[in-house]
């Protein structure tokens, strides 16, 4: 089959300067070995003549190539050992990586040029793989804990309901706990499915034009029961902003951020929500007056199932902020957290205007 001659060349571009640099290095290496071996051969031949070990003409003919081969082999082995050490170290390190050990690093301080870049790239790759492995282990541990806890609770209180000496008040209390834990499981399952769907999605569809400030007001009213029960004071500063995007997806962002702010705010605290429409982007900030976060928590707050409260005393499963981060990423925006212990937390979402 004949292909059109005007098809684009999809082969990766060749860095000719780097390739020529490698060739020149190898050529100089070989020339250095040959010249040095020739000088050493001449010196050794002269010494053998002086001491009278090359009386036989046949021995003189054979001695030159033998000495030349000997010196070339010796020099190549000695010089190559130093030149090839980074490659040998790299091969050994990769063997450890293939066995699941991502802690091995190759020393790149004395390695220059292309080999140095290769070694540093390997070290970066090993660091990233080590981080992913740690995240995977944390994810499995947290996932198991979050699902096991409500199931054990439901099972325990269901067995208590089998007792005949329970009062009506105790039965209602146990049933309320079972319903609450069931809702927790259902909410967690829904969030896992939604997050899985969003992680496999690359394009935002079903976009419409809507008032972003009105959407924020509706979300605040939707959660009135929660913030009113804690006596929170609202501090709203919402610019009028018309936005083009997926309204349902963005509602998940605001509901999760508002829910977190309400959950961690103390009784009688303040819930702050601001919307600023700037040139080419909108900025939404949700702020609480809760206990705040330390630096370690801030770095991991968007990870799946991560909770700064290791005792899991606060209600939640550590999926809300992961959903927020994924949705904002799909919308080509950014989300940041500004917090310090004892100073509350402020989550700022910036979205580009289309």
Instruction: Name the token pair of 198.
Output: 């969003």
- What number is the average pLDDT over the span 75-92? 66
Residue 131 lies in a domain: no
Residue 286 forms part of a structural domain: yes
Which has the higher per-residue pLDDT, 75 or 187? 187
Domain boundary among 82, 101, 120: 101
212 and 263 share one domain = yes
3-class SS at 42? helix
Q: What is the CATH number of the domain that holds 176?
A: 1.10.287.130
Most confident of 18-22, 69-73, 328-332: 328-332
**What per-residue confidence (pLDDT) applies to 349?**
95
> Looking at residue 276, what is its pLDDT?
93
Q: What percent of the chain has pLDDT over 70?
A: 73
Nearest to 277 by CA among 236, 243, 235: 243
Whether residue 348 sits in one domain with residue 212: yes
* Boundary of a domain, candidates 199, 216, 231: 199
Number of domains in the chain: 3
Residue of 287, 285, 274, 271 lying closest to 339 (CA atoms): 287
SS3 of residue 16 by DSSP:
helix
pLDDT in tens, 22-72: 666 667 767 777 777 777 777 776 777 776 666 666 666 777 777 777 767
Domain range holding 68? 17-101
Phi and psi based region of residue 285 (left: phi greater than 0; alpha: psi -120 to 50; beta: remaining): beta
186 and 311 fall within a common domain:
no
Structure tokens at 287: 């702020």
- Residues 212 and 193 grouped into a single domain: no
Task: Give the residues across from 233 on adjacent strands.
Answer: 270
Can you list the alpha helix ranges (DSSP code H) found in the chain? 16-50, 57-98, 113-160, 168-199, 212-222, 224-229, 247-264, 295-300, 320-330
Q: Are residues 187 and 273 in the same domain?
A: no
Range picked from 75-84, 245-254, 293-302 for highest mean pLDDT: 245-254
Residue 73 located in a structural domain: yes
Give CA–CA dist 322/249, Å, rounded.
Answer: 13
Domain membership of residue 123 (yes or no) is: no
Over residues 213-252, the pLDDT tens digits come to 999 999 999 889 999 999 999 999 999 999 999 998 899 9
Q: Are residues 181 and 266 in the same domain?
A: no
- Residues 281, 340 share a domain: yes
* Residues 238 and 307 grouped into a single domain: yes
Contacts of 340 (CB under 8 A, 6+ apart): 292, 293, 294
Same domain, 213 and 342: yes
State the CATH number of the domain containing residue 239.
Answer: 3.30.565.10
**Domain membership flag for residue 5:** no
Average pLDDT, the chain: 78
| Same domain membership, residue 213 and residue 155 | no
Q: What pLDDT score does 141 carry?
A: 65
The verdict on residue 244 lying in a domain is: yes
């Amino acid at each position: 089959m004949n292909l059109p001659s005007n098809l684009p060349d999809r082969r990766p571009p060749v860095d000719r300067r780097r390739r020529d640099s490698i060739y020149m290095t190898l050529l100089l290496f070989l020339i250095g070995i040959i010249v040095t071996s020739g000088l050493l051969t001449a010196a050794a031949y002269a010494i053998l003549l002086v001491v009278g070990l090359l009386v036989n003409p046949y021995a003189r003919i054979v001695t030159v190539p033998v000495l030349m081969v000997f010196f070339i082999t010796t020099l190549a082995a000695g010089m190559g050992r130093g030149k090839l050490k980074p490659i040998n170290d790299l091969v050994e390190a990769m063997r450890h990586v293939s066995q699941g050990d991502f802690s091995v690093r190759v020393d790149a301080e004395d390695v220059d040029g292309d080999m140095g870049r290769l070694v540093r790239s390997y070290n970066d790759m090993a660091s990233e793989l080590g981080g992913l492995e740690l995240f995977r282990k944390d994810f499995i541990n947290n996932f198991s804990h979050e699902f096991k806890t409500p199931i054990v609770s439901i099972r325990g209180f269901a067995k208590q309901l089998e007792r005949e000496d329970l009062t009506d008040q105790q039965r209602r209390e146990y049933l309320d706990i079972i319903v609450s834990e069931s809702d927790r499981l259902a909410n967690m399952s829904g969030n896992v499915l939604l997050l899985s769907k969003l992680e496999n999605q690359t394009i935002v569809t079903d976009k419409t034009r809507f008032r972003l400030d009105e959407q924020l007001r509706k979300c605040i009213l939707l959660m009135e029961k929660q913030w009113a029960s804690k006596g929170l004071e609202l501090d709203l500063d919402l610019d009028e902003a018309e936005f083009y995007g997926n309204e349902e997806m963005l509602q998940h962002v605001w509901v999760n951020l508002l829910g977190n702010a309400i959950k961690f705010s103390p009784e009688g605290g303040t819930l702050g929500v601001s919307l600023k429409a700037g040139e080419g982007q909108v900025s939404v900030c949700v702020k609480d007056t809760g206990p705040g976060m330390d630096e370690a928590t801030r770095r991991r707050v968007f990870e799946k199932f991560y909770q700064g409260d290791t005792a899991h005393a606060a209600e939640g499963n550590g999926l809300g902020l992961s959903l927020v981060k994924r949705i904002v990423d799909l919308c080509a925006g950014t989300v940041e957290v500004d917090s310090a212990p004892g100073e509350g937390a402020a989550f700022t979402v910036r979205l580009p205007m289309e």
